[in-house]
Structure 1
């Protein structure tokens, strides 16, 4: 079948329109339909967010960790920010992704995220900031609350209780929660105000900030793998009378924590193939038990 010049022009035009449509769909998937900056959140809105953050871990699970509680924390403010139903849906979908942060200083991150949501930052930028900050905030929260504030307050309360004072536990609860709530609400307002004042800078350097945040996030993940994933083998290589320990004399010489890294990458590859976290936990347990029984691990 022969095509004339008009047919070729129409085909070329259709090709161009299809390319433009695909490009537009890719952009819209990462950006909000409404670009108008929403009205500023009030102090009441931020305080409400801080109060709701107390239920951050109410729906904790091993697939998304604190995602349900995180979205519950942000939900009233997100409804106020996004009048467009499609934008609200995209925002909710993104905030139901995996997140695990310290439950006491989470309000700094949620305040910052709400400021970025109000400024209609790209979804990928908001996601990158979340990933980059949740690790450091977890470490800071552990050091500040569990390793510093809790022992001090518990020590004072316990010393009073040992002396027979009924005020021991009361003093402990008052001291600990006074600091806890002051930090929780203070960080909520500080995070939101810091994010609002930084929005012009964020808009001017979105790609750089997103790239930098992604690098920080990957660095944190790499450190977590090296610190928390434990995997080694007792196998030895025998060559004549020589016995070479595979773990210490070969693998560790090539790169420390090579096996934990390899196992983490394997789990990641399986997750990309839609293996659920529950299945991966089961496979990890089976692999560990069998590996120990046959002398591989």
Structure 2
């Protein structure tokens, strides 16, 4: 009787393994079961995708990065495109793989991916496009938003705030988000309607766009350093009867604002040595207090 029980258990285990293998082969297939192109997504669908992309990093983790938010962005479009349950499952499984892209221009990629999903491209092809565009979009996004748009908008807002205007932070948020949301929604529609034809254009001009935006961003940051970093010394050097003011008679003659520049370069050097922003803020406060007490600043 025990022998029969063992045989039945082995048979049940074999059936279970066969079922798992069959399910795995179905999930990992490259072609969709329903290969007929789907109906085009509407403007409402694309706008909904753009709104949902705001939660791209809501479930950020170090294993799959933005995968949860990425799938959340695409789910309404995928449900409309894939009518066959297995096709929807295969697509969702693929989109839960590792992805890390800039959160502001991600809608270009999501629109492009939905266009490819609607055309029922191979799953491996869609995966390859995702992987190929993560890097370029990240570089363009960093150059356009963090190095260019953010310093310009923050500079305008800070300038108003320093003059005592309560509209400083409001103007900053208004200008920044007008550009941000304009690009977020515009890129969603452009990526979807351009489809794969946009790949060649993006690959051709990625370096040019990033280089131009980096130049503008570095110029703006240089101007902000000269305008908003204030650092001077009251030290006076005595040589016999002559007195020389270190700041006005020496440093300003060499280069105006040389102390703010040196301080900024030191902070940058410390950042390259993996100092956190919190530590740098603390060191800046400590340097200012100590420098004032000893009469250096």
TM-score (normalizing by structure 2): 0.58
Distance (whole Å) between structure 1 residues aligned to residue 101 and residue 35 of structure 2: 29
Q: Which residue of 1 aligns with 2:277?
A: none
Which sections of structure 1, spanning at least 5 residues, go unmatched? Answer: 1-21, 203-208, 214-297
The reply on whether 1:59 has 2:63 as its aligned counterpart is no
Which sections of structure 2, spanning at least 5 residues, go unmatched? Answer: 1-21, 204-297
Note the C-alpha offset of 1:112.
0.2
Note the C-alpha offset of 1:27.
11
Distance (whole Å) between structure 2 residues aligned to residue 27 and residue 129 of structure 1: 20
The reply on whether 1:44 has 2:39 as its aligned counterpart is no
Q: Which residue of 2 aligns with 1:193?
A: 193
Note the C-alpha offset of 1:192.
0.0
Distance (whole Å) between structure 1 residues aligned to residue 28 and residue 194 of structure 2: 27
Distance (whole Å) between structure 1 residues aligned to residue 26 and residue 166 of structure 2: 63
Q: Which residue of 2 aligns with 1:32?
A: 32
The reply on whether 1:121 has 2:104 as its aligned counterpart is no
* 2:27–2:86 contact (8 Å) kept in structure 1: no
Distance change (3 Å), C-alpha of 1:78 and 1:26: closer
Note the C-alpha offset of 1:28.
7.3
Distance (whole Å) between structure 2 residues aligned to residue 27 and residue 73 of structure 1: 21
Q: Which runs of 4+ in 1 moved over 2 A?
A: 25-28
Distance change (3 Å), C-alpha of 1:177 and 1:115: same
Note the C-alpha offset of 1:26.
8.6
Note the C-alpha offset of 1:136.
0.5
Note the C-alpha offset of 1:142.
0.2
Distance (whole Å) between structure 1 residues aligned to residue 148 and residue 159 of structure 2: 17
The reply on whether 1:89 has 2:67 as its aligned counterpart is no
Note the C-alpha offset of 1:145.
0.1
Distance change (3 Å), C-alpha of 1:85 and 1:100: same
Distance (whole Å) between structure 1 residues aligned to residue 64 and residue 28 of structure 2: 25
Q: How does 1:193-232 map to 2 (within 5 A)?
A: 193-195=193-195, 198=197
Distance (whole Å) between structure 2 residues aligned to residue 93 and residue 27 of structure 1: 8
Q: How does 1:122-271 map to 2 (within 5 A)?
A: 122-195=122-195, 198=197
Distance (whole Å) between structure 1 residues aligned to residue 26 and residue 150 of structure 2: 48
Note the C-alpha offset of 1:75.
0.3
Distance (whole Å) between structure 2 residues aligned to residue 66 and residue 134 of structure 1: 11
Q: Which residue of 2 aligns with 1:110?
A: 110
Distance (whole Å) between structure 1 residues aligned to residue 139 and residue 73 of structure 2: 21
The reply on whether 1:77 has 2:77 as its aligned counterpart is yes
Distance (whole Å) between structure 1 residues aligned to residue 70 and residue 177 of structure 2: 21
Note the C-alpha offset of 1:100.
0.1
Distance (whole Å) between structure 1 residues aligned to residue 27 and residue 167 of structure 2: 60
Note the C-alpha offset of 1:78.
0.2
Note the C-alpha offset of 1:109.
0.2
TM-score (normalizing by structure 1): 0.58
SS across alignment from 1:29:
coil
Q: Say what the alpha-carbon RMSD is for the aligned residues.
A: 2.4
Question: Matched residue pairs, number?
Answer: 179
* 2:31–2:123 contact (8 Å) kept in structure 1: yes
Note the C-alpha offset of 1:138.
0.3
Q: Deviations over 1:228-254 (max 9, x none)?
A: xxxxxxxxxxxxxxxxxxxxxxxxxxx
